[in-house]
Amino acid sequence: MAAYDTIIRNGQVADGTGKPLFAADVALNGDRIVAVEAPGSLNGDNEIDAKGKVVAPGFIDVHTHDDTYIIEHPLMEMKASQGVTTVVCGNCGISASPYGRSDIPHLISLAVKKTENLAKTFAEFASKVDAAKPAINGAFLVGHSLLRFDAMNLDVGREATPVEIKAMREQLDLALEQGAIGMSSGLFYPPAMAATTDEVAEVAKPLGKWGAVYTAHMRDESEDILGSMNETFEIGRRAGASIVVSHHKCAGRANFGRMSETLPKFTDAMKQQEIAFDVYPYVAGSTILRKDMLWRCDKVLISWSDSVPGVSGRDLTDIAAEMGCSIDEACDRLQPAGAIYFMMDEKDVQSAMSHAGSMIGSDGIPFDTHPHPRLWGTFPRVLGHYSRDLKLFPLEDAVRRMTSYSAKRFRLSERGEIKAGFYADICIFDPATVIDTATFDTPMTPAKGIDTVLCNGAVAWRDGKPGGGRSGRVLRRGAM
């Protein structure tokens, strides 16, 4: 008689903790892992043969902008196809709630396209996500820039007043109470540039009380990156929050090699307070099109443009030549638009990724017409290219940086490990063939080598297509 719903048989388990691969069968009942035992000792109604494959916890994409994409496209193919079973949304100061207005400022449109997906409270937003029955889980941060737009009536080019700071703090507090997992800021972006360190620290105060996380797209990732790290660490300390620095990079040729300054600084700070950072495995970044970023880059590709159709995926220099104008002028004509910026050193990316404080996040931008390939390729690229081919770190450690470490940092309880009692978020992949196929030319292609992906026990991806499982849920702080 079968004691379990499903047995994943004959696989090599990478349990997420970094411990060496071991042969085991994994039993599931409902949405949980219920046993991890010696091969051949368990029976189930369904059997998944994982011979020659690795059985890992589902990957946690800790840096996304999938806030409302998950509502509009609940199958989440670009993430499920990589083995991702949880996306952490609301990064870089950008989120869809809590927001009392009905307009969508330019920066926010990176993650929110439809006004109907905005919500006055986090509770209301989370119920929209649950109602969409997504194939994978979502955990959500509240964006500081969104709070500013709301509390300051869009007049964000200045410091917030004490009254506005209090309003933002109360909104954040309520959202955390309702299950948001933390707050993100994006002091790099115009809507938050005028915010002082004091402002963010004061708004962030409720984080400590709720044991929530602070993530930061820092004010400066170039010349003044050390100053920005100090600012970020101070905000985390004053709020009593655990910190995740977003997409750690040293941007621009003048700053290539400066990981030799930032990484030891992280190592030191990690002894004093809880600090980690996320990294995506590419030398190019992507965000809205900004003139003041162009001079730093070796190359710029357009990822979308609302005013000039047909330019997505093309080099800005070529577009300007065709328009017969300067690059700055072309930039103006394309707006509103997004871009991909080549501005990092490969060695820096590798040293950041392999540092003790790093975990993997894609920072993919889901609505772009020609997105950065990280949206579809991040996790298989780390496993196949960086771990297997370049041997930057062992497979078990690559998996750890996508699962248990991420779950701990973001307080996602009972996820991120193959362990009895934990949720059945699982990725079964072929370690010999797993690799990204998305490129800067053709960025929207599913990875190879991802076999079966389960989220809360249901099949989210199998044999190169969605598996029909729609068991993803909102991972609410304190109630997971």
Residues whose CB falls within 8 Å of the CB of residue 237, separated by 6 or more in sequence, listed in order? 273
Q: Of 92-100, 373-381, 402-410, 411-419, which part binds Cu ion (CB under 5 A)?
A: 92-100
Dig out the tokens for 159 from the structure.
Answer: 């410091």
Least distance CB 204 / Zn ion (angstroms): 17
Least distance CB 34 / Cu ion (angstroms): 36
C-alpha–C-alpha distance, residues 455 and 263, integer Å: 34
Residue 400 touches Zn ion, criterion: CB under 5 A: no
Phi and psi at residue 126, to the nearest 5°: -60, -35
Least distance CB 218 / Cu ion (angstroms): 12
Identity of the residue, 92 or 407, whose beta carbon is nearer to Cu ion in the bound complex: 92
Residue 92 touches Cu ion, criterion: CB under 5 A: yes
Phi and psi at residue 438, to the nearest 5°: -70, 135
Residue 363 touches Cu ion, criterion: CB under 5 A: yes
Least distance CB 285 / Cu ion (angstroms): 9
Residues whose CB falls within 8 Å of the CB of residue 26, separated by 6 or more in sequence, listed in order? 7, 8, 11, 13, 33, 35, 36, 55, 418, 426
Could you tell me how many residues of this chain bind Zn ion (CB under 5 A)?
A: 3
| Interface of this chain with Zn ion, residues 295 to 314, rule: CB under 5 A | none
Identity of the residue, 228 or 471, whose beta carbon is nearer to Cu ion in the bound complex: 228
Q: Where are the beta strands (DSSP E) in 218-374?
A: 242-245, 275-279, 284-288, 299-305, 337-342, 358-360
Residue 217 touches Zn ion, criterion: CB under 5 A: yes
Q: Of 1-9, 31-39, 244-252, 351-359, which part binds Zn ion (CB under 5 A)?
A: 244-252
Least distance CB 61 / Zn ion (angstroms): 14
Residue 344 touches Zn ion, criterion: CB under 5 A: no
Identity of the residue, 171 or 362, whose beta carbon is nearer to Cu ion in the bound complex: 362
Identity of the residue, 140 or 422, whose beta carbon is nearer to Cu ion in the bound complex: 140
Pairing, β 44-49 against β 4-13? parallel
In 3-state terms, what secondary structure has residue 418?
coil
Q: Of 110-118, 204-212, 217-225, 330-338, which part binds Zn ion (CB under 5 A)?
A: 217-225
Least distance CB 52 / Cu ion (angstroms): 36
For the CA atoms of the chain, what is the radius of gyration? 21
Q: Where are the beta strands (DSSP E) in 177-283?
A: 182-186, 213-217, 242-245, 275-279
Least distance CB 91 / Cu ion (angstroms): 4
User: Residue 477's CB: how many other CB atoms inside 10 A?
Assistant: 24
User: Residue 309's CB: how many other CB atoms inside 10 A?
Assistant: 9
Q: Site map for Zn ion, 245-284, x if CB under 5 A?
A: -x--------------------------------------
Nearest Cα to Cα of residue 142 among 163, 156, 121: 121
Residue 91 touches Cu ion, criterion: CB under 5 A: yes
Residue 84 touches Cu ion, criterion: CB under 5 A: no
> How many CA atoms does the CB half-sphere of 442 hold within 13 Å?
5
Identity of the residue, 369 or 433, whose beta carbon is nearer to Cu ion in the bound complex: 369
Q: Of 69-77, 89-97, 352-360, 374-382, which part binds Zn ion (CB under 5 A)?
A: 89-97
Nearest Cα to Cα of residue 370 among 280, 302, 320: 302
Residue 436 touches Cu ion, criterion: CB under 5 A: no
**Binding at 213: pick from Cu ion, Zn ion, none (beta carbon under 5-8 Å per type):** none
Least distance CB 185 / Zn ion (angstroms): 10
**Binding at 401: pick from Zn ion, Cu ion, none (beta carbon under 5-8 Å per type):** none
Residues whose CB falls within 8 Å of the CB of residue 161, separated by 6 or more in sequence, listed in order? none
Q: Between vectors from CA 143 to CA 140 and to CA 146, what angle results, nearest 5°?
A: 130
Residue 92 touches Zn ion, criterion: CB under 5 A: yes
Q: Which residues bind Cu ion (CB under 5 A)?
A: 91-92, 363
Q: Which residues bind Zn ion (CB under 5 A)?
A: 92, 217, 246
